[in-house]
A and B are shown apart, each in its own frame.
Chain A
Amino acid sequence: EIQLVESGGGLVQPGGSLRLSCAASGFTFSSYSMNWVRQAPGKGLEWVAYISGSTSKMHYADSVKGRFIISRDNRGNSVYLQMNSLRDEDTAVYYCASGMRQAPGAFDIWGQGTKVIVSS
């Protein structure tokens, strides 16, 4: 079964750090770009970060650039999001999502999401 499973969310104080993980199964992980997308409570979707399949090129939304780091382990079929200097506005459900091979910016596989709450 093709699936993505996120973990690592939780409650963290402003200025703190958190590392999210996303485990992939059922497909050739290294062949696909991966992304993190977040959704603040009651709000829309916001793309956060991208990492390419094998060359490990990374891109970030301006809102997280310099604070978040995306990485991947192709042997372990996992992608990560290291979140530093967290702010109240980073509170959201974080989804990992894979890009289609024929249309990399279209996300055809999504995890169930992991909730991050930044609060004192």
Chain B
Amino acid sequence: EIVLTQSPATLSLSPGERASLSCRASQSITNYLAWYQQRPGQAPRLLLYDASNRATGIPARFSGSGSGTDFTLTISSLEPEDFAVYYCQLRSNWPPYTFGQGTKLEIK
């Protein structure tokens, strides 16, 4: 079973700063990685799929990179609404669809 490990667990930054969130897979998953944002009390929202493709309506400040085992979600300039929990997910064509444990992005 493939395990996804996200780091850091918590990231404290200020609005306007650049955020880099990491997701590492226990074995190669090529580019089968998705990223989600979850604000308190809300359902998750798909941000990126296949490592770097933005989902519909996602602002350009969100970008993704990586392949194989190491992936990064970058938010170029943080807006107040970006402070939330972020999850990476193995999005292979067949289940299981493993999630990482999440990174909480909090206001410094």
Partner-B contacts on A (CB < 8 A):
35, 37, 44-47, 50, 59-61, 95, 97, 100, 103-108, 110-113
> Which residue of chain B lies nearest to A57 when distances are taken between CB atoms in the complex?
B94
| A105→B99 contact, CB < 8 A | no
Main secondary structure of the interface of A (DSSP, over half): strand
Cβ of B50: which chain A residues have Cβ within 8 Å of it?
103, 106
Q: Shortest Cβ distance from A37 into chain B, in angstroms?
A: 8
Of the listed residues B45, B55, B92, B97, the one surrounded by the most CB atoms of chain A closer than 10 A to its CB is B97
| A59→B44 contact, CB < 8 A | no
Beyond contacts A45-B44, A107-B46: 5 other A-B pairs, Cβ-Cβ < 8 A, are A45-B36, A105-B97, A107-B44, A108-B56, A110-B43
Known: A103-B49, A105-B32, A106-B34. A44 touches B43 (CB 8 A): no
Q: Shortest Cβ distance from B65 into chain A, in angstroms?
A: 17
Q: 14 A-B residue contacts at CB 8 Å? A: A44-B87, A44-B99, A44-B101, A44-B102, A45-B38, A45-B89, A47-B95, A61-B96, A105-B32, A105-B92, A105-B94, A106-B50, A110-B44, A112-B43
Known: A47-B97, A108-B55, A108-B56. A103 touches B45 (CB 8 A): no
How big is the B interface, by class?
A: 20 to 34
| B95→A108 contact, CB < 8 A | no
Known: A45-B87, A47-B95, A50-B95. A105 touches B34 (CB 8 A): yes
Tell me whether B23 is interfacial, beta carbon within 8 Å.
no
> Which residue of chain A lies nearest to B101 when distances are taken between CB atoms in the complex?
A44
Choose one: A103, A110, A113; the contact of B91 (CB below 8 Å): A103
Cβ of A59: which chain B residues have Cβ within 8 Å of it?
94-96
Cβ of A110: which chain B residues have Cβ within 8 Å of it?
43-45
> Which residue of chain B lies nearest to A60 when distances are taken between CB atoms in the complex?
B95
> Which residue of chain A lies nearest to B38 when distances are taken between CB atoms in the complex?
A45
Tell me whether B90 is interfacial, beta carbon within 8 Å.
yes
